[in-house]
């Protein structure tokens, strides 16, 4: 007859095996580490068996009786990889600042797209990036959708105040995510991106500020102009297009310096 010690070892082994098997059937966080600056680097195991890397910034304090906004930011092509750091180069420092965290307590998610993948279907033509007509969701964006759903299930998220923003490749991803799940977001800030104008009618109801540099040689500002016009034709009432004269591809810097931008974003709610 097995000894008690052996029985305990067998039991622990079975628990580990069961847990590993269970992870193949449901989403879970498999690794998480908080850095000194407050960002929590997360490796998220989704329901299809893929790992999604993202950084999470939580409110300075969380009240169990309060719900908080969720901000999703999609980075550009230059920040792709698997270090779970590069995506924090642009815009993330703004959300990390003490003044912003105190004024707008919220959960902020910066996922990282793997190298050689995209947030949305894109193609390079004569040195400029253009959207490809929307088909099945790109795997990287699909995995991020799973992260957002898991955040809603795991944290006190105000589902009436979920916001999305992105730059360049992330601008394309912002338009694509909006087209696929238009009822999820209370506001959007796509920057120097583009999208399939045929789907603009899906998200014409979403308050939006679209930014682009007039001298962008990487992603033509005409793409943002086209989406803006398609939104207006679809009946959009709360959409603004801002084009920065003399600015190239780096439209994200003046965009996030745009007066009242965060006040505007955080004031938006689907309950309005």
Give pLDDT, residue 152: 97
Q: What residues are paired with 51 via a beta bridge?
A: 45
What is the C-alpha separation between 185 and 207, in angstroms, rounded?
Answer: 9
Q: What residues are paired with 109 via a beta bridge?
A: 56, 72
Q: What residues are paired with 60 via a beta bridge?
A: none
- Contacts of range 132-136, beta carbons closer than 8 Å, 24 or more positions apart: 132/196, 133/196, 133/198, 134/176, 134/179, 134/180, 134/196, 134/198, 134/199
What are the mean pLDDT values of the chain's consecutive 10-residue runs (272 residues total)? 48 39 47 72 85 95 95 97 96 96 98 94 83 84 94 97 97 96 97 95 97 96 97 97 98 98 98 76
Residue boundaries of the structural domains of the chain: 27-267
Give pLDDT, residue 57: 97
Give the strand pairing for 208-213 and 239-244. Answer: parallel
Cα-based torsion angle of the residue sequence 132, 137, 138, 142 in order, rounded to the nearest 10 degrees = 150
Give pLDDT, residue 219: 95
Give pLDDT, residue 31: 58
User: How many other CB atoms are there within 10 angstroms of residue 120's CB atom?
Assistant: 28
Q: How many CA atoms lie within 13 A of 254 on its CB side?
A: 16
Q: Does domain 27-267 have CATH number 3.40.50.300?
A: no
Give pLDDT, residue 35: 64
Question: Residues with Cβ < 8 Å from 141, sequence gap 6 or more?
Answer: 119, 120, 173, 176, 177
pLDDT digits (tens, 9 = 90+) for 226-254: 999 999 999 999 999 999 999 999 999 99
Using DSSP, state whether 211 is helix, strand or coil. strand
């Amino acid at each position: 007859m097995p000894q008690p010690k052996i029985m305990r070892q067998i039991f622990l082994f079975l628990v580990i095996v069961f847990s590993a098997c269970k992870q193949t059937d449901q989403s879970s966080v498999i690794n998480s580490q908080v850095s000194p600056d407050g960002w929590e680097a997360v490796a998220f195991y989704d329901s299809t068996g893929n790992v999604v890397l993202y950084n999470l910034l939580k409110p300075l304090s969380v009240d169990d009786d309060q719900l908080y906004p969720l901000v999703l930011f999609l980075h550009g092509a230059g920040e792709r990889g698997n270090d779970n750091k590069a995506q924090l180069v642009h815009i993330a420092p703004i959300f990390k600042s003490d003044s912003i965290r105190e004024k707008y307590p919220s959960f902020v998610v910066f996922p990282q797209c793997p190298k050689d993948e995209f947030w949305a279907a894109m193609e390079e033509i004569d040195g400029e990036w253009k959207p490809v007509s929307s088909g099945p969701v790109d795997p990287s964006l699909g995995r991020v959708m799973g992260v957002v759903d898991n955040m809603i299930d795991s944290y006190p998220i105000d589902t009436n105040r979920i916001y999305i923003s992105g730059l360049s490749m992330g601008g394309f991803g912002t338009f694509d995510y909006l087209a696929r799940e238009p009822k999820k977001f209370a506001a959007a800030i796509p920057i120097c991106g583009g999208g399939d104008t045929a789907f603009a009618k899906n998200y014409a109801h979403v308050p939006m500020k679209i930014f682009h540099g007039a001298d962008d040689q990487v992603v033509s500002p005409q793409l943002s102009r086209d989406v803006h016009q398609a939104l207006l034709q679809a009946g959009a009432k709360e959409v603004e297009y801002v084009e920065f004269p003399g600015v190239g591809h780096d439209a994200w810097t003046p965009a996030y310096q745009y007066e009242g931008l965060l006040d505007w974003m955080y004031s938006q709610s689907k309950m309005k």
